Structure 1
């Protein structure tokens, strides 16, 4: 009979990698993690030389669950001889390339990781889950953790050579040869792509545009009381709201997770200002403008535009198009054989409970970063990864190997019981 693992993780992005690191020292847990790639790689298309993380180094794979872990970011820096330069730099925010290197360093030190194993089917044999990979290998496990990530989101149909920002660096040289380039999007990726192209514009001579549906190029809201929302109690508060109200709350929270780092916004303005003082700027910046269609005629795109506030329309012609339009959760096809064991909402999304379980027993199949609609904007936040892994491990083991904080915020969400009183109407 095939060996039965306690836990099997599918997909190795930062969240399941963090889970693997936290599982590694636990003697009473038998865990294995599968991924179809040859090794770890985190958003390689956006590893620009100067790009920094939007979260501090404490939001690494393990520290907020176990500050003593051998897989911490500081342990990585010490191991590669960079802890003193990082100290002298006096910034909590690692370069994105450094974070990618750190994750690869951690993955290389794990005996539980199996690269090159693309999962193609998950079944249940009445006792445990049976996981099959494209190599023909089979694993069995009592618990699954899905960390298969998100897929590039395209808000409209696009033909021709347009690219998503996920592939930006791979296609950058081709873009620089264009006569005109337009970036579509509103978040950090759009800003970084625009800033990188702006830095090359004078040398290459292309026209450059940036179109965003947002009413402004808004910065990421990063004040301390707002940061308290990246907490277990805010997530619990959000989960308790009715589904329609959750969607309503989410619609007004773009600045909490999808905004641009203030330093990036300021750097773009300063470069535009410098250009304006020496002869002008050949760029177009459009806010509150959505692209409703992108038509390719074999040599260039014609973008149909609609201004969301004026309700006016227009067109923009561009030879190259970069879509920094974000990512969306995806439900893997390999779950089809066990769909009846899982909970779904009326939009076909996995329905996660308080412990991130999505199965009817609320104890067998867990998700990482596929629960934004149930747990709120904190789902993709790297700073919440260690806490979520701690909760999952506690459910699998029946004990808390890493204590899970129940309350960390000074503020309260909702009217607390001590203040509740019916109001006369």
Structure 2
């Protein structure tokens, strides 16, 4: 059986980034396994016209290797879209463009490195063989003749299994005549939602805003097939406001190696509190979307068009049931809303629900055979070290899912190449891609001593990055005007 230097479980953007950066390295053999038939990035939310919340430079490779043939600009050039993108004068690609770009990169990897990406393989177990000191991955492959097993041996393993849609318990078992869908399945259920005649979006963030804006065009439009006539749309969130993501530049410096060093060094209870407080840094809506929603409502009201819509903040859904005898005899969902500021409760009726309630990371069952080698925190989550390892041997990595340990850089697409560079440095024992140690002008925490350090953009410290346990506080940078 062939032994790989690196095996990846899951082929989402994080592991696809790692694969694209590993492909040119002659001293790294790698294989990446995924249970799907091919690459697909949030297909249920590729709403027409929606954009990424990060610039095009946050592609799979550019922040590690701007010369890579797997860059977003290379895809634009190959598909004849480079000049139209240039003339568009926007840093933010369409979501559909990003998905198409990643599928192109996956296809290009398959052509240049045959066998590196292997689809249709569901990894069921990761084991450690003590005799060889290797990881052994078991994957199930379904075919016309049934299911067979494949085994893969690797010195290092990277988990890129992603997240699963989270639906709160109060909505989880809700069933009735109308659809109840998570935003991850929005597009396949979109027409059924509109046909219901009355939709309530529960949750906040970019996905909630995009769904609300997309359905807003149907508000007030008469549909004879819908009970009650005109389509109604409501939006309920337990957040105190419909908050935008913060894009100010000093705040964006928190997506930096220095802030990640600082965050990792903090106690876990403090990290958990900061994670809740920093939601608006990466879980809010884009300011443009917030403005577009308001401008659309304003435009409709100025024209005297009907606005059967309500936006409710600080309201938590505390109970939900189906009333088969609702308006028109079609049945309705009855949501009990609790307003946190007033302490009041009220019933809200609707015929369909969209749960914009986010995603969750879990410890995959496939790690059960090596659970004794893995560190967990008090909450049962993977205790991810600064170098992204979770096992005692420091050879089992996590690519994505480390928000509770690394903070805002964990879900950031633009930081994926930096993480991949760190992983590849540990795998190879060298630094195939320069790893920035300092990118921020500000200091997080107190400086160890007052001596000035190189400003951002200065020479990188040579050598393989070492894990921080914790990292020393960064020095104060002096910026010359």
Match of 1:184 among 202, 206, 213: 202
Q: Distance in 1 between matches of 2:13 and 2:153?
A: 23
Match of 2:181 among 163, 170, 176: 163
Q: Distance in 1 between matches of 2:164 and 2:255?
A: 23
Contact 1:156 1:293 in 2 (8 A): no
- 1:132-187 deviations in Å (ceiling 9; x for gaps): 11121111101100000001111233221411000000000111101210001110
Equivalent residue number for residue 249 of structure 1 = 274
Q: Distance in 1 between matches of 2:294 and 2:259?
A: 35
Equivalent residue number for residue 408 of structure 1 = 439
Indicate the structure (1 or 2) with the bigger Cα radius of gyration: 2
Equivalent residue number for residue 137 of structure 2 = 131
Q: TM (normalized to structure 1)?
A: 0.96
Q: Distance in 2 between matches of 1:409 and 1:377?
A: 15
Matches within 5 A, 1:69-148: 69-110=68-109, 111=113, 112-126=116-130, 127-135=133-141, 136-148=149-161
Equivalent residue number for residue 5 of structure 1 = 4
Match of 2:364 among 318, 324, 332: 332
Equivalent residue number for residue 423 of structure 1 = none
Q: Distance in 2 between matches of 1:40 and 1:296?
A: 37
Match of 1:292 among 318, 335, 343: 318
Matches within 5 A, 1:40-55: 40-55=39-54
Matches within 5 A, 1:203-222: 203=221, 204=223, 205-222=230-247
Contact 1:156 1:292 in 2 (8 A): no
- 1:46-90 deviations in Å (ceiling 9; x for gaps): 001100000000000000000000000000000111000000000
SS in 2 for 1:194: helix
Equivalent residue number for residue 273 of structure 1 = 298
Contact 1:184 1:325 in 2 (8 A): yes
Cα distance, 1:419 vs. partner?
5.2
Equivalent residue number for residue 39 of structure 1 = 38
Q: Distance in 1 between matches of 2:449 and 2:93?
A: 43
Call closer, same or farther: CA 1:297–1:133 in 2, change over 3 Å: farther
Q: Distance in 2 between matches of 1:308 and 1:56?
A: 36
1:367 aligns with 2:389: no
Name which of structure 1's ranges 272-281 and 27-36 shifts more when overlaid on structure 2: 272-281
CA RMSD of aligned residues (A): 1.2
Contact 2:170 2:318 in 1 (8 A): no
- 1:273-318 deviations in Å (ceiling 9; x for gaps): 1111233411010011111122224532111111112222111011
1:262 aligns with 2:270: no
Contact 1:295 1:303 in 2 (8 A): yes
Contact 1:372 1:378 in 2 (8 A): yes
Equivalent residue number for residue 356 of structure 1 = 388
What stretches of structure 2 of length at least 5 have no aligned partner? Answer: 142-148, 224-229, 325-330, 452-481
Q: Distance in 2 between matches of 1:200 and 1:373?
A: 39
What stretches of structure 1 of length at least 5 have no aligned partner? Answer: 421-425
Equivalent residue number for residue 152 of structure 1 = 165
Contact 1:37 1:116 in 2 (8 A): yes
Q: Distance in 2 between matches of 1:47 and 1:370?
A: 22
Cα distance, 1:251 vs. partner?
1.6
Match of 2:341 among 309, 326, 329: 309
Higher relative contact order (CA 8 A, sep 6+): 1
Q: Distance in 2 between matches of 1:401 and 1:315?
A: 59
Q: Distance in 2 between matches of 1:356 and 1:384?
A: 13
- 1:94-150 deviations in Å (ceiling 9; x for gaps): 000000000000001113100111111111111211111112111110110000000
